[in-house]
Amino acid sequence: MRGKYFKQGIGILVLLILLILSILLALSVGEINFSIKELVEISRNKTGIEYTIISNIRFPRILLGLSVGGALSLAGVILQGVYRNPLVEPYTLGISGGAALGVAITIVFNLNIVLGLYMLPLSGFLGAISTVFIVYILSISKNRFNINKMLLIGVMISFISSSSMMFLLSTTTAENLHSIVFWIMGSLDEPNMLLVKSVFYASIAGLCITYLFANPLNALRLGESKAKHLGVNTSFTIRVLFITASVLTGISVSVAGVIGFVGLIIPHLLRLVIGSDYRILLLASFLGGSIFVIVCDVISRTIIAPNELPIGVITGMIGGLVFIVVISKSKFKNH
């Protein structure tokens, strides 16, 4: 038992060190590179173009990457626990499709021009929450959740949202088309610190709320009926966790766009490394998601510098390749 807790503690410590290193990497690397010594001097002087680059450009991206990565990974591990399926991710329930459709409608009808700067993230969040509400209502039968029904409805709503968005894309102007496609592929280039801080506070609040249900999540690994016998109010637990995961995903998608594979690959990998105890896995997934998104953002803005790739492209490519390797190794071991 001591060996297990020691391994888990080492795992969290390693993730914290990797997070610090990824933050330093993101602060140092870009069109203008800084050494660690230069970063210290810049933070002391707080003057010049170098400080402006660090404080106004790189730091907001890092904070948003930490928040979005942590929130999406946390949402993924929550949903995988609720569904008892390691292949479920936040976008499976159609949340990203709803957010993308909301943004597409806003851009096509020029509502962002009429209603101001906050309309795009607001429309994305409203689209995501509307999708969640529909899935939630349609999944309730006789005042009880049907987990499998919820999953199927979410997948179908995702297809409907995607088809509706394709219709809008095929009928709008080239300028609107470019804006929608760029948003869909994801970006951490958000200059509004109010939005960045909002995502950060929401992600930390989501982590705190989720930890209140760490033991019920562990019980749900045995199945709903056995969890009930252990004294867990499964209906209440599933509702709270589902809403928490949905809000975390909706806020992340509304500000940063669709950044795929974070909520799927990170919890899956960490479950293999440190085990399935949610008392450790929740924090580990949050830290792992933050590291993954921050590093992918560094790659996206440096690989074809001075141009920038959408971060969703990088997370999709790296996440997909890693997932294929992990699945292949697992199959090999089983045989």
Q: Which of 204-240 are b and which e, b meaning 16 or more Cβ less than 10 Å from the residue's Cβ? A: eebbebbeebbebbbbbeeebeebeeeebebeebbeb
Q: For every one of its 335 residues, what pLDDT tens digit does the chain have, with 9 covering 90 and above?
A: 566 677 778 889 999 999 999 999 999 988 888 888 888 888 888 777 888 888 888 999 999 999 999 999 999 999 888 888 777 887 777 887 888 888 888 888 888 776 677 788 888 888 888 888 888 888 776 666 677 788 888 888 888 888 888 888 888 888 888 888 877 788 888 888 888 999 999 999 999 999 999 999 999 888 878 888 888 888 888 888 988 988 898 889 888 888 888 988 899 889 888 888 899 999 999 999 999 999 999 999 888 877 888 898 899 888 888 888 877 776 544 43
Residue with tokens 């503690």: 9
**Cα distance between residue 90 and residue 248, in whole Å:** 9
Longest dimension (CA), the chain: 64
Question: Residue 332's pLDDT is what?
Answer: 45
8 Å CB contact between 249 and 75: yes
The tally of CA atoms less than 13 A away on the side-chain side of residue 84 is 12
Question: Residue 330's pLDDT is what?
Answer: 64
8 Å CB contact between 184 and 311: no
**Cα distance between residue 96 and residue 127, in whole Å:** 9
**Cα distance between residue 234 and residue 224, in whole Å:** 6
Residues belonging to the chain? 335
- Which tokens hold the place of 143? 């005042």
**Cα distance between residue 225 and residue 203, in whole Å:** 31
8 Å CB contact between 93 and 245: no
All domains of the chain, ordered by start, with CATH?
2-334 (1.10.3470.10)
- Which tokens hold the place of 304? 């074809």
Q: Which residues pair with 141 in a beta bridge?
A: 144
